[in-house]
Structures are given as C-alpha cells and as structure tokens.
Amino acid sequence: MKQYINQIFSLIFGLAVFTFFAFFYQYHLYYQEQYQLFLFTGDYFTQMSYHIGGLAAYLGSFLTQFFYYPKLGAIIIAILLVIIQELILFLSTMMKRQSYWTLLTFIPSIIYWNMLCDENTMMTGVVGLIITLLAASFYMLIENGWTRMVYLIIFAPLLFVMVGGVYVLFIFLSLVIEYFYFENVTSTSAIIGTVGGVLIAVFLPYMCSFFVQAPLNRLYWGFDWYRFPVVGVGFYLYIWVSVALIPILFVVIPDMKKHAFFCTTAQFVGVVLLIVFALYNGYNRQKEEIMNYDFLIRSKQWDKVIQKAQKKSPNTPMSVADLNLALAKTGQMSDHMFDFFQRDPQGLLPDFQRDFTLPLVTSEIYYQLGFVNTAQRYAFEAMEATPDYQKSGRVLRRLAETNLINGEYKVAYKYLKILQKSLFYRKFANRTMGLLWNEKAINADPEYAWLRKCRPQKDFLFSEAEKDMMLGTLFVHNRKNRMAFEYLMAYYLLTGNLQQFAKCFPLGKSIGYDHVPYTYQQALKYLGRQMKQSK
C-alpha cells in the first residue's frame, strides 16, 4: 500500500479533475471546442506547425476537438494534468530518491487546473509543458556528459520550434539535473553545456525575430497558450516557476524522515487547501451558466432552456436573449415572456459588438427569425473576431447552412468540404452535401425550407436602429412567420412603444392564435386605461 501511495494520490487527483470538468464545468469545454476546427489534413498540420511552438499548438488543437464530448474532454484534461505531475515527480525523486515531499509535485498541476478554469486558456500550454518535461526527463537518462551536452545544445532550439518559449524550462531543468543529479560541476562538457544553454535561452528568440514574422515578446514567452495574443507574463511565470522550483526544493529541503507522518499530512492539507483556493479563485459560475444557455440554444433544446430559466431567471443580455429565443421557438413568447426578467431590447436582439461570443448568440436568433443574411454576417464576424484566428466548426456549419439556404452552393460546398475533414462535423457535412444543387431535397427539409420562405425577398440595408422596421418587413413578407411577429411585438413592449404595438397588433390575425396572448391582453388593457385617462 505504502509503495503505491504516490500513484493513489495521482489517481485521486485525476478523478477530482475529471469530476470537476465533467460535471461542474462541462459547458466551458463545449465553449472551447466551438472556437477551433481541427482538420485531419497535411495542410492543416503544415499551417499549424509552421510557426514557433506550432507542434504544441497542433497537438493542443487535436486534443481540444474531443471537448465536443465534455466527458471525454474532462478525461483528457485529467490525464494531462496527472502526466505533468508524474513527470515532475519523476524528475524530483530522481534528484533525491528518499523524499517525503512528493505531494509538492501536485502544485504545478493545481495551478494549471486553476488556469484551465479560464475559458481562454488553450491546451497548447499543457502539451508544450509535457513535451518540455519529457525532454528534460530524457536528459536525465543520458549517462555520458558529452552526449548530454550535445543533446542540450541541439535539442533546445528544436524544442523552441516545437513548443515555443517554454523551452527555457528545459534548459533550466537540464542544468539543474547536471549539477544536482549528475553532480557534474567542473567538467568541460558541463561548462560548455551551461554556457551554450544560457546563450540559447537568452538569444535564440532574439535571433529568430530577424527571420520569423512574430513579435519578440511572444517569441520569448510563447504562442497560443492563451486565446488573446496579449497576456500578462504572470500567466507563464506561475507555471514555469512552480515547475522549476519543485525539483530544487526536493534537493534543498531536508528529508524529514523522522517526521514523515507530519510532513505528509501537512502536505496533504496544503494540497487540498491549494485545490480549494484554486477552484474558488478560478470557478466562474456565471460564465458556466451563460455557456450552458448557449449550448442549449446551439443544440436546439428549447424546453430545457425554459426549464432552466424557471429555476433561476437569467439576467445577462446573452442568456435573456437565449431564453426569449427558446420562448419564441416553443410558441410561449407572447404568453410568458414577462414571467421572466426582461432587460430591454438588448435581451431580444442584442446590438452588434466586435466580439467573438455575443454575435454568435445573436446569429442564432436572426437565423431562426429568417434573417439569413444577417445571421450569416454575425456568425462570420464572430469567427473573424476570434483573437487567435482559429476557424470555428460551429460557425463554418452555420455559414454552410446560410449559403445553402441562399442558394450559394459553391460557397456552401467549400465550407462542407472543410468540415468533412474534421472528426465531429463530418456527419453533418456529408448529410448536407447531398442537399447542394438539389432544390427538391432542400425544400423537403423542414428547417431550410421554412427559412427560405421566411427570408426577405425585397432588399433593404440592415439598420441596428430600425430593428422594428426590419422585423415588420420580414413579417409582411411571410405572415405565417409567428416568430417575426412576436419579436416585433416584444420589441415594442420592451421599448415602451405601445402606440406602435397597438397599431401592429391586428396583423397577428394571420397567425391564427386560439386566444389573445396574455402579455398582449395586459398591454392592450393598460393602453386602453391610459387612453381613457387622457380623455
């Protein structure tokens, strides 16, 4: 039992990570997946791995595609964080075999766990760190000092190309191993290795900046660890310093053999407290809620959206917009819209923002309404605004659909061909490919056929300030478009324009309500009362 204690701790840690991501943070994983599209093509590999740190980015993207199934994603994250811990454990215990400080090796993985709670932390960093630790572990296995020196000097630049700035950790760990594990302080090979390693660490990114089109600071720190190109150096330093310090601590801290129980207990408590702190600090319940709404909308689970809102009414524009869409899609908007918290028209049709999240939600609403071109524009802009410039499987799917509906088959074909090269969008692409240039098949598809009937036929220029005009035009074009009518009426109610509401109310006849919707009754009664008072 005692000999397996480290493995048991690793197992428990892995299970904890899995449980967290699989059951408490699963929508963050969905969110991650939708902002990238891993393709099984040589071209994608070349494109990804052509820049510094590209191999780590490629493998990170490969792993992220499995977040399409969050439980699978949670397993992957758990395994990777355990691998990081095990590699640090290997390096540290090799330094000092009889150490009672093994639980310290969990610290970098816990820090990374905290970082992965941020939806913009990419898997590139996790993969890059593992490759670096593997390279350092291999250094430890080389017996001959000259071979180690050659390995260090040749492999460090290669590692830089593969994983980016984290290669300095490899150089640092190699030198720590050289001096503390091999205790090779004065040999020529160690001196050459040290000087060479330091020179490579300091100057390689700088030299590269003359040949590679990338900012110098990113060459030093790394690419694709975070979705946004600009991130504080603390993001890297927390991880790098913790990984570098643990093996040194193993050498420096006394063994505490006499107080082994106390030592292990103290570490255990410390590690648990650190996990609690990491999750308290990292866990973002509100974002998880918003992502949950978005997922339900994306997968057209309208009833679940409403059930969720009945438990706790959403209060952010994004989630209120999701709820209103679900209400409209289930025919409940006109009766039950005001059963829930309503902000303003932003919770109905949010204004455009140069952002990669909100336009995606708004695109769903415009799509369901029948504003196919606007849905296409919002989806396209969302993908274009993605800070790391990844293509989005979700957006490409939507663009294929909008182009299919608009009869732009060649463009739809292009997107579908790309999606066919992915793992989880292939099925959709293969099915949709059969609809191209096949009017009969498209018109037999309930969704596409309906949207074709709804989309505007008379051209006008989109105007954010005249959403009511656009909704009116859409409804007049197809008077069976109940959603357009209810959005128009909801727009007037939310803007307090009851005169227009009353004016447009009779248009609803064509929809064939079996009763005057509850919300409309209230509004009309209020308006009637006001008119009486004014008389």
Partner 1 sequence: MKARFYYILVWMIAIFAACTPQPKDVNKVSALPPMYPDYPDITIPYNIAPLNFLLRNDADAIEVVAQCGESVLQVNKRGHEICFPIAAWKKFMNEAKGKTADVKVSARINGRWVQYRTFEWQIAADKIDPYLSYRLIEPDYEVWNHLQLIERCVENFEEHVICDHNLVDNSCMNCHVYGNQDPKLSLFYVRGKNGGTILNRNGKLRKLDIKNSQMISAGVYVGFHPSGRYGVFSSNIIIPAFHAVDSKRLEVYDTKSDIFVADFDRNTIYSCPQLSDSTVLETFPTFSPDGKYIYFCTARRANLPKEIKKLKYSLCRISFNAANHSFGTKVDTIYNARLKGHSVCHPKVSPDGKWLVYTVADYGTFPIWHREADLQMMNLKTGAIDRLATVNSNRSDTYHSWSSNSRWLVFASKRDDGLYGKPYFCYIDRAGKAHKPFVLPQKYPAFYDDNLKSFNIPELSKGKLPFNAVDIERLMKKENEKFK
Which residues contact partner 1 by CB under 8 A?
41, 43, 209-210, 213-215, 218, 229, 352, 354, 371-374, 377, 380-381, 384-386, 389, 391, 405-408, 410-411, 413-414, 417-418, 455-462, 470, 473
Cα angle 9, 56, 36; round to 5 = 100
Q: How far is CA 154 from CA 49, 146, 150, 509, in A?
A: 19, 12, 6, 78
Tell me how far apart the 2 most distant CA atoms of the chain are, in Å. 103
- SS3 for 7-45 is HHHHHHHHHHHHHHHHHHCHHHHHHHHHCCCCCCCHHHH
Distance CA 326, CA 162 (A): 45
Nearer to partner 1, 43 or 183 (CB): 43
Nearer to partner 1, 336 or 414 (CB): 414
Q: How far is the CB of 160 from partner 1 (least distance, A)?
A: 17
DSSP 246-301: HHHHHHHS---GGGHHHHHHHHHHHHHHHHHHHHHHH--HHHHHHHHHHHHHHTT-
Q: How far is the CB of 373 from partner 1 (least distance, A)?
A: 6
Q: How far is the CB of 43 from partner 1 (least distance, A)?
A: 6
State CA 434 to chain mean position distance.
31
Beta bridge mates, 226: 121
Residue owning tokens 């570490």: 267
Nearer to partner 1, 342 or 374 (CB): 374
Q: How far is the CB of 133 from partner 1 (least distance, A)?
A: 28
Nearer to partner 1, 181 or 352 (CB): 352
Distance CA 375, CA 369 (A): 9
Nearer to partner 1, 97 or 410 (CB): 410
Main-chain dihedrals φ then ψ at residue 226, nearest 5 degrees: -135, 145
Q: How far is the CB of 243 from partner 1 (least distance, A)?
A: 27
Nearer to partner 1, 175 or 204 (CB): 204
The answer to whether residues 306 and 332 touch, using CB atoms and an 8 Å cutoff, is: yes
Nearer to partner 1, 297 or 405 (CB): 405
Read off the amino acid at residue 337.
Answer: M
The answer to whether residues 234 and 225 touch, using CB atoms and an 8 Å cutoff, is: no
Q: How far is the CB of 354 from partner 1 (least distance, A)?
A: 5
Distance CA 516, CA 398 (A): 35
List the structure tokens of 507: 């248009």
Q: How far is the CB of 345 from partner 1 (least distance, A)?
A: 19
Ramachandran class of 442: left when φ > 0, alpha when ψ lies in -120 to 50, beta otherwise: alpha
List the structure tokens of 4: 């397996």
Length of the chain: 535
Beta bridge mates, 121: 226
Residue owning tokens 């460090």: 156
Main-chain dihedrals φ then ψ at residue 121, nearest 5 degrees: -75, 125
Q: How far is CA 62 from CA 28, 33, 132, 164, in A?
A: 17, 10, 18, 18
Q: How far is the CB of 36 from partner 1 (least distance, A)?
A: 14
Q: How far is the CB of 59 from partner 1 (least distance, A)?
A: 21
Distance CA 193, CA 353 (A): 52
Nearer to partner 1, 70 or 393 (CB): 393
Nearer to partner 1, 197 or 393 (CB): 393
Nearer to partner 1, 63 or 382 (CB): 382
Nearer to partner 1, 208 or 256 (CB): 208
The total of other beta-carbon atoms located within 10 Å of residue 103's CB is 23
Q: How far is the CB of 498 from partner 1 (least distance, A)?
A: 27
Nearer to partner 1, 145 or 456 (CB): 456
Q: How far is the CB of 169 from partner 1 (least distance, A)?
A: 24
DSSP state of 66: G
Q: How far is the CB of 41 from partner 1 (least distance, A)?
A: 8
